[in-house]
A and B are shown apart, each in its own frame.
Chain A
Amino acid sequence: MPAVQETVEQVRSIDVDQYKYGFFTDIESEKAPKGLTEDTVRFISAKKNEPEWLLEWRLDAFRRWQTMQEPEWARVSYPPIDYQDLYYYSAPKAKEGPKSIDDIDPEILATYEKLGIPLRERDALLGIESTGGTRVAVDAVFDSVSVATTFKEELARAGVIFMPISEAVREHPELVRKYLGSVVPVTDNYFATLNSAVFSDGSFVYVPKGVRCPMELSTYFRINERNTGQFERTLIIADEGAYVSYLEGCTAPMRDENQLHAAVVELVTLDDAEIKYSTVQNWYPGDKDGKGGIYNFVTKRGDCRGARSKISWTQVETGSAITWKYPSCILRGDESRGEFYSIAISNGRQQVDSGTKMIHLGKNTTSRIISKGIAAGYSDNTYRGLVTAHRKATGARNFTNCDSLLIGDKCGAHTVPYIESKNASAQFEHEATTSKISEDQMFYCRQRGLSDEEATALIVNGFVKDVLQQLPMEFAVEAQKLISVSLEGSVG
């Protein structure tokens, strides 16, 4: 399989500074004044030409946020965030909204090209020849705004709506109003409430009844500007019998300061619908001493509202200084299914506290959790999960498998599952292990000629294979490379 070869290549070609997305694009931007007040919220809303109801919604969130406190239960520590010392809106200066790809600032196009994300459909189409993969429609979000969305017309022909959420608010207000905040309520948690007040852009997807989305959809998030928080909001609705696979990727420049990323993602599946949501998170993790890096405080939740519907989260988390993220499923519809597949890798001084919640409400609902945590360097890596069956969740089933791997003796791996069953017919099974790469495996691989790092990369890739398999092909290759890169410097 070429991927491993590439992994090995990658490992060999790495220099000390392994974060290759750390460049900064010098482009003029328009920002909201620093700090967060009602005026900031009004400013953002006005910038987006939002209807009154949405402004009120934001203001309500902002007022509630002011009464809330940052959560402290996660196993992460960081100096207090000065929320008044951040920019909450930053957009590349451009003519009033690019009408076509040619209107986009070439600097931005170049940025995405450098990141390997073609925004010209022509280029994307050319890409097919070489990879032989499927086509992917991209929504590119640069700081606070969406700069381009590809394949919109073709998707529209299939009835699929894929556009920046700011545009959807204007073009499909009835859908946005109906679903926004219906999965993650405004007051859900500190960071979600903050997001509700100041969210700037993100993607909106609606797949109508019975439609199987003709291509993979993806959003590519890029934080560019200094001292800027990114607060994107993603809302995906799969109507009855619909199917969509959605991918999300993230990068940011290398900076000494910490930057805040507080996103909210809401998924809704109606009867027989399915959403597959994959993330490769590669925000800047900070340098080896823990300086800089993104604070990734994200609320992701899916609501299997319809019977027999399904939501599947797959995540590969390699970046960010701090990750605080629990993509969850509310299994409301009878016979609905939730899945969570995760690879979380921490190295250097990274802190990861991630996991999932599977909330079984409907009858005969099933869920599956496969989590692979790898801690190296001085990092801390925690799996935190909740599986619960409510009184009426007759026949609920869960299987959980959480494995952690430690590389080196200065890091920590922790497993904190909550397993709560209030229904006698629920059947829950949980297993977790923590271990290190066995010396015998290393010796065996090296006896066959692999170097320390090649052997580690190979064994780790084997360790996470069950999760990698869940990713679309192109993403899996990318993820595999990232894993090796993230572990650079962790052996020997």
Chain B
Amino acid sequence: MSAEIRLMRTPAEQALSAALEQVPSAPGRLNELRRSAARSFNEQGLPHRRVEEWKYTDLRTLMREAVPVAGPAGVAEAEAAARLLAGALVRRIVVANGAVVPELSDFSELEEGLSLLPLAAAVAAGDERLSRLGGLVPARYDAALALNTALAGDGVLVHVAPGATLARPIHIAHVAVGQGPAASYARSLVVVGEGARATVVETFESVTGQADQVNSATEFYVGDHAHLDVVRIQALGPAAVSLTTLLFEVGREAQLHDFAFTSGAAVARTSLYANLVGEASQVAFNGAVLLKGRQHADSTLFVDHQVPGCESRELFKHVLDDSSRGVFQGKIVVRQAAQKTDGRMMSRALVLGDDAEMDNKPELEIFADDVQCGHGATCGAIDDDLLFYLQARGVPLKEAQSLLVQAFVGEAIETVEHDGLRDALIEQAEAWLKARG
């Protein structure tokens, strides 16, 4: 029954393999990195439901065809598309169709200790800091990351020198623009040196209802005693496919707070890999996912405690309307050496739509005995008693629902430390509820 016969290659896989043929050669080890990623993809293709990590997000089915790789974006088009956080207190770099748009990006008056440049420029200049690019590799083949490694030509290199503190968040604004659905690939590298402090925001937008395929991967190195906040907002158009890969390496006594807001795309998958390699670090990966229509969003986390004394927290909130489908998979691994680990993971889903579906798979894999680990998962409709209570106080049904949903996702959003970003996220949630009517 489960005989591992190599499945027929789908049209999408064939098209992607063809695109991989066109991968331009790159200097130095980057070239080999790209070729080996392409080889992996050609061998293993897109994941399907028998691949455990993609059990609920069968890309072979969900990504029926591969769209052509996007061409360069017009500046005006890109500017019109990059709307999120505009005017906020951020330093914005616009990445349109996978390439940095210098005209829309703020590389001026960099704070002391900050290096910020387009990845393509760093590659061309042979920047030695790129030696860390591709340094974080998941334990198992990840198709989205392989495609990204092979096909991404640009993105952003952020390097914060030891001890430096950035005044403003760095905002990487990904936009997909142009006529006709297209695929774009962006790769970024963020290195936060020892004791440094930074905030990085990534947003994803597309103005059209096109079936764009937006593939982004970012590697984060958080140095010893460093403090990094990361916020992502994925608000792609309703037909888009979003594939995001995040790779973290966290040093000793470092702090990392990651938050993801997801409300866009027809199909969205975020794979997050975090390696805790320095003792006594504290990390948090939180998220709010609001879906409607037939949207499908999958957040899959691997938190790998390799050393003693680290603390990890995950809190994900899903709000599922209509026939949408939310997926949360979270795995906490505690290696034998990682004594005194403290890991807690919680996934809560509020199901609004009659045909909505939630799949939860929280996982613990523990090899050290002196640990405190736990996870929880709940899903269900809005509490009728609460609704009744609010209605009895004169709040109309829809509004009562909105209030309760806001409170529900609010708990996750509140974990974002930066005031301006937190307010922007709350606005996003409110806008989603308003659109729901």
Residues on A facing B (Cβ under 8 Å): 67-69, 71, 73, 187, 391, 404, 406-422, 424-436
Contact = CB atoms under 8 A, between A and B. Distances in A.
Please name the 9 residue pairs, one residue from A and one from B, whose CB atoms are nearest each other, closest first: A406-B369, A427-B380, A433-B374, A419-B360, A415-B364, A424-B351, A430-B377, A436-B369, A431-B376
13 contacts: A411-B369, A412-B365, A413-B366, A415-B363, A417-B361, A419-B377, A421-B359, A424-B353, A424-B355, A427-B381, A429-B378, A430-B377, A436-B370
A412 B353 contact: no
Given A409-B367, A412-B365, A434-B371, 15 more contacts: A69-B1, A404-B364, A406-B366, A408-B369, A411-B367, A412-B366, A414-B365, A417-B362, A418-B361, A419-B360, A420-B359, A424-B381, A428-B377, A430-B362, A432-B362
B363 A424 contact: no
Given A69-B3, A409-B339, A435-B371, A428 B365 contact: no
Nearest to B55: A418
Given A415-B375, A420-B357, A434 B364 contact: yes
Contact of A407 (B3, B354, B369, B374): B369
B368 interface: yes
Contacts of A407: 369
Nearest to B351: A424
A19 to B, nearest CB: 25
Interface string B320-340: 000000000000000010010
Nearest to B356: A424
Interface SS of B by simple majority: strand
Given A408-B369, A430-B376, A432-B374, A424 B52 contact: no
Nearest to A415: B364
B372 interface: yes
Contacts of B336: 409-410
A411 B365 CA distance: 11
Contacts of A415: 362-364, 375
B2 A69 contact: yes
Contact of A422 (B357, B361, B374, B377): B357
B226 to A, nearest CB: 29
Contact of B351 (A187, A406, A410, A421): A421
Interface of B: 1-3, 52, 336, 339, 349, 351-381
B317 to A, nearest CB: 15
Contacts of B339: 409
Contacts of B2: 69, 71
Contacts of A410: 336
A67 to B, nearest CB: 8
A430 B1 contact: no
Nearest to A401: B376
B381 A434 contact: no
Interface-centre pick from B52, B361, B377 (highest chain A CB count, 10 A): B377
A76 B359 CA distance: 25
B376 A432 contact: yes
A406 B54 CA distance: 30
B162 to A, nearest CB: 35
Nearest to B321: A424
Contacts of A412: 365-367
B374 A426 contact: no
B36 to A, nearest CB: 27
A428 B363 contact: no
A419 B359 contact: yes
A426 to B, nearest CB: 7
B310 to A, nearest CB: 15
Contacts of A426: 351, 379-380
A412 B364 CA distance: 10
Contacts of A428: 360, 377-380
B379 A421 contact: yes
Contacts of A187: 1
Nearest to B50: A73
Contacts of A436: 369-371
